């Protein structure tokens, strides 16, 4: 059983970040990140079988790979607080995914993974190209507390989260993954089934179509950082540490916001400490602004877009917030036109969205 501690190279100024790597009873890796070494003895946990991914099939009309993982139908669905699988395990209590009574940030391989290093050989389908769904899927638990969000966990924890993401980027790219996507889905309207504050990381064996198209734009000369700087007057929300939060003029969702470094970097591992602190701050600040604007826990999709392997030329890292609200109490649904064509109808002008968010 692997159980070792490492000091990370990426760390907030004046702080040391430790990673403990532990192998769970069912063989899945668990990584514990913190500002202090994690030395607690593991509690007993359940073992059992673990899914090893699905399969890939090529869509000839959309020119993209899709992942088929039918075992995910059995994943945990809206458990009670007493059965929260992302909470720390308490002595004498039920076994959870984290067999320790406390932690700062925990990352473990998804039990219901879509992608896996030992994914099975796909079945043959007439007229459809298929491939092995190699890759990796992580669950990233922000806090041992059962409630909270990217704003309430605080700047110190958000900066630790950024160090955690950078460590996973390094490891997953080293394993041969082509694109690594840290993301968070927040709120039942997005499909969240576990309410404990957490995000995920998907590491793909291919570059998805959205990122392939973005690479074409970057390689064609599009300068995202310069464009968002030029737009900051009418479309900017807030700036921190050399990072702009902007509602891009071509937003597809009402109140969509990008976090864009003012200088081009391939990924957050290239941030200066000032940029890292600014980016971490804006993750929380935008969450706060959305909740204040809509007067509720705002459902959103957050994703980090670092350079895919092999398509690094001129790539500019950015993060995207896609909130699913168009006004208080009203969800922005992706209906027939959007789903069928990819052409979005946007209910709120981006310049108006920026003005409203900026005012908070």
Domain boundary among 175, 206, 237: 206
Q: Are residues 96 and 168 in the same domain?
A: yes
The whole-number pLDDT of residue 141 equals 98
Q: Are residues 247 and 135 in the same domain?
A: no
Q: Which residues contact 217 (CB under 8 A, 6 or more apart)?
A: none
Q: Are residues 255 and 276 in the same domain?
A: yes
Q: How confident is the model at residue 144 (pLDDT cuts 50, 70, 90)?
A: very high
The string of pLDDT tens digits covering residues 340-360 is 999 999 999 999 999 999 999
Nearest to 136 by CA among 49, 48, 52, 208: 52
Q: Are residues 289 and 341 in the same domain?
A: yes
The string of pLDDT tens digits covering residues 164-214 is 999 999 999 999 999 999 999 999 999 888 999 999 999 999 999 999 999
Q: How confident is the model at residue 77 (pLDDT cuts 50, 70, 90)?
A: low
Q: Are residues 79 and 140 in the same domain?
A: yes
The whole-number pLDDT of residue 78 equals 65
Residues recognised as catalytic: 198
Q: Are residues 52 and 126 in the same domain?
A: yes
Q: Are residues 196 and 217 in the same domain?
A: no
Q: Are residues 298 and 187 in the same domain?
A: no
- Tell me the Cα Rg of the chain: 20
The whole-number pLDDT of residue 74 equals 63
Domain with residue 282: its CATH number is 3.30.428.10
The answer to whether the CB of 183 falls within 8 A of the CB of 199 is yes
The whole-number pLDDT of residue 284 equals 98
Q: Are residues 147 and 253 in the same domain?
A: no
Domain boundary among 153, 174, 206: 206
Q: Are residues 186 and 127 in the same domain?
A: yes
Distances (CA, A) of 315 to 69, 202, 203, 282, 359: 31, 19, 18, 21, 31
Q: Are residues 173 and 108 in the same domain?
A: yes
**Site of tokens 């990008």:** 258
The string of pLDDT tens digits covering residues 37-69 is 999 999 989 877 788 889 999 999 999 999 998
Average pLDDT, the chain: 95
Question: Which is more confidently placed, 156 or 82?
Answer: 156
The whole-number pLDDT of residue 82 equals 77
The whole-number pLDDT of residue 2 equals 65
For the chain, what percent of residues have pLDDT higher than 70?
98
Q: How far apart are the first and last CA of the chain?
A: 50
pTM equals 0.96
Is the pLDDT assigned to residue 238 strictly greater than 60?
A: yes
Structure tokens that stand for 101 in this block: 């009574």
Domain boundary among 184, 206, 228: 206
How far apart are the C-alpha atoms of 158 and 138, rounded to whole Å?
18
Full domain range(s) for residue 94:
3-206
Q: Are residues 149 and 226 in the same domain?
A: no
- Count of domains observed in the chain: 2
The string of pLDDT tens digits covering residues 262-306 is 999 999 999 999 999 999 999 999 999 999 999 999 999 999 999
């Amino acid at each position: 059983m692997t159980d070792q501690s490492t000091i990370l190279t990426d760390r907030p100024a004046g702080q040391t970040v430790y990673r403990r790597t532990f192998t769970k009873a069912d063989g899945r890796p668990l990584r514990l990140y913190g500002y202090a070494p994690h030395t607690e003895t593991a509690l007993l946990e359940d073992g059992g079988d673990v899914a090893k991914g699905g399969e890939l099939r090529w869509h000839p009309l959309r020119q993209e790979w899709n992942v088929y993982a039918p075992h995910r139908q059995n994943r945990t669905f809206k458990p009670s607080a007493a059965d929260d699988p992302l909470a720390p395990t308490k002595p004498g209590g039920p076994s959870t995914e984290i067999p320790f009574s406390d932690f700062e940030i925990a990352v473990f391989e998804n039990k219901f993974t879509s992608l896996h290093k030992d994914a099975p050989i796909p079945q043959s389908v007439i007229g459809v190209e298929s491939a092995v769904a190699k890759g990796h899927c992580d669950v990233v638990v922000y806090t041992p507390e059962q409630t909270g969000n990217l704003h309430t966990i605080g700047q110190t924890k958000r900066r630790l989260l950024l160090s955690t993401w950078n460590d996973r980027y390094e490891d997953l790219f080293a394993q041969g993954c082509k694109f690594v996507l840290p993301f968070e889905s927040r709120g039942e309207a997005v499909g969240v089934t576990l309410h404990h504050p957490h995000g995920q990381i998907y590491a793909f064996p291919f570059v998805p179509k959205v990122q392939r198209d973005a690479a074409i734009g970057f390689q064609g000369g599009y300068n995202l950082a310069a464009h968002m700087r030029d737009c900051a007057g009418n479309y900017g929300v807030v700036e921190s540490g050399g990072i702009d939060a902007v509602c891009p003029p071509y937003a597809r969702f009402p109140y969509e916001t990008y976090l864009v470094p003012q200088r081009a970097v391939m990924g957050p591992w290239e941030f200066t400490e000032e940029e890292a602190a600014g980016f971490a701050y804006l993750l929380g600040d935008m969450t706060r602004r959305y909740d204040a604007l809509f007067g509720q826990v705002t459902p959103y999709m957050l994703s980090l877009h670092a350079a895919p392997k092999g398509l690094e030329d001129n790539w500019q890292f950015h993060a995207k917030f896609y909130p699913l609200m168009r006004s208080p109490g009203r969800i922005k649904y992706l209906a027939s036109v959007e789903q069928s064509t990819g052409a979005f109808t946007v209910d709120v002008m981006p310049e108006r969205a920026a003005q409203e968010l900026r005012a908070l």
